[in-house]
Amino acid sequence: MLADVFPPETREAFAAAYPASPAKLKHNLLGHPLLTIDALADLAEALPAHEIEYNPGQLPIGIRPEDVPKSDLTVTETIRNIGQAGSWVALKRIEQAPAYRDLLHSVLGQLADIVEPRTGAMMQLEGFVFITSPGSVTPLHFDPEHNILLQVMGHKTMTLFPVEDEAMFSADIHERYHLGLHHRNLTWFDGYAAKGTPIQIGPGEAIHVPVKAPHWVQNGDEPSVSLSITWRSDWSYAEADARAFNHMLRKVGLRPASPGPFPARNRGKALAWRAMRKLKGAA
């Protein structure tokens, strides 16, 4: 059994923020043997190739996915030489390795008493590890999961933007994203900068990232290792399905209202979309 990962003051801060607000937190995973550079290089060799993404780290904040250049090093070489590689590496769905699945489930289990009364059961538990060279940038994007990013090595600054600001990213972008028609990377305009909230974290610190909160990340002057622990919920699935239903309404010329932010449940549109999807599957 893993000892308490989150100190009492972090549990209080998380409870005050979840699920709608970002928050800076603390954790006790420093020195964990599964999160060393050597262990992560071994994990990269064990994961399926399609669960690994690695790119040069000197990227603009906003970049089209097709414009991201390829690295000249293998992923294992990149991780073991991350201080000089000028790259960032994402190891995705690390729970496919049994030891990492046990770690992920143990850590998230310590938050279930806060999470589940608000957004429902924790589902689709997934973990991601980011190994990043000094100065690297993760471009502006959003994600569909509830997420806590735990910093294990080095420093980074995550700049987060309001989830509901459709002046930045229209309802249509959200809808197409949930239907697999829009990449997670988002277009950047310099006018967005004033709307961002930068949060800097170092070893032993973490950030709660709300569902679909746009964000970009600037690594510090040393190599970085971060563990992202994520889950889906009844609430996050309802938001996604309501967005998909809205896309269908928009295609027939209607102008539907966007799903309501938490605590709105968005169940009507979500159930309508699920029923339509079921009928289509049965046809």
Is residue 67, in this structure, part of any structural domain at all?
yes
Q: Quick check: 64 and 16 in contact, CB under 8 A?
A: no
Do the beta carbons of residue 28 and residue 6 sit within 8 Å?
yes
Residue 3 lies in a domain: no
Output the pLDDT for position 68: 63
Q: Which residues contact 254 (CB under 8 A, 6 or more apart)?
A: none
Sheet containing strand 137-141, edge to edge, reads 137-141, 215-219, 156-160, 197-201
pLDDT value, residue 266:
96
124 in the same domain as 59? yes
> What per-residue confidence (pLDDT) applies to 45?
95
Q: Which of 256, 58, 53, 64 is nearest to 166 (CA)?
A: 256
In this structure, are 126 and 151 located in the same domain?
Answer: yes
Cα dihedral 22, 176, 88, 131, rounded to 10, equals 50
Same domain, 110 and 33: yes
| Neighbouring residues of 50: CB distance < 8 A, sequence distance ≥ 6 | none
Which of 194, 209, 234 lies at the terminal end of a domain, its last residue? Answer: 234
Instruction: Say how far apart CA 277 and CA 283 lie, in whole Å.
Output: 10
What was the pLDDT predicted at 57?
Answer: 67
Query: Is the same domain home to 96 and 181?
Result: yes
**251 domain-assigned:** yes
Q: Is residue 75 part of a domain?
A: yes
What CATH number has the domain bearing residue 165?
A: 2.60.120.10
Residue 274, C-beta contacts closer than 8 angstroms, at least 6 positions apart: 241
Residues 159 and 241 grouped into a single domain: no
Torsions phi, psi for 107 (to 5 deg): -65, -50
Residues 36 and 106 in one domain: yes
Q: 198, 213, 234: which is the final residue of a domain?
A: 234
C-alpha 225/C-alpha 134 separation (Å) is 11
Residue 174 placed within a domain = yes
In a domain, 1, yes or no: no
Instruction: Compute how many other C-beta atoms are within 10 angstroms of the C-beta atom of residue 60.
Output: 11
| Structural domain count, the chain | 2
Tell me the residue range of the domain where 271 lies.
Answer: 237-282
Residues 218, 169 share a domain: yes
Q: Would you say residue 2 lies in a domain? A: no
Q: Are residues 194 and 271 in the same domain?
A: no
Rounded-to-integer distance, Cα 178 and Cα 236, Å? 11
Residue 166 and residue 56 share a domain: yes
Q: Would you say how long the chain is, in residues?
A: 283
**Closest by alpha carbon to 228, among 104, 67, 53?**
104
Helix residue ranges, H only, 187-256: 234-251
Pick the closest to residue 271 from 231, 233, 244 (CA basis): 244
Q: Are residues 15 and 74 in the same domain?
A: yes
Task: Name 215's Cβ contacts closer than 8 Å, sequence gap at least 6.
Answer: 140, 141, 142, 158, 159, 160, 161, 209
Q: How far apart are CA 218 and CA 206, in angstroms?
A: 15
Q: Are residues 102 and 209 in the same domain?
A: yes
**Which pLDDT tens digits describe the chain residue by residue (283 residues)?**
688 999 999 999 999 999 999 999 999 999 999 999 999 999 999 999 999 988 776 666 776 767 666 667 788 998 999 998 888 899 999 999 999 999 999 999 999 999 999 999 999 999 999 999 999 888 899 999 999 999 999 999 999 999 989 999 999 999 999 999 888 889 999 999 999 999 999 999 999 999 999 999 999 999 999 999 999 999 999 999 999 999 999 999 999 999 999 999 999 999 999 999 988 876 5
**Amino acid occupying residue 281:** G
pLDDT at position 71 is: 65
Domain final residue pick, 194, 217, 234: 234
Looking at the chain, the number of H-run helices and the number of E-run strands are 9, 11
Let me know if residue 103 belongs to a domain. yes
What is the reported pLDDT for 274?
96
For residues 205 and 123, membership in a common domain is answered with yes
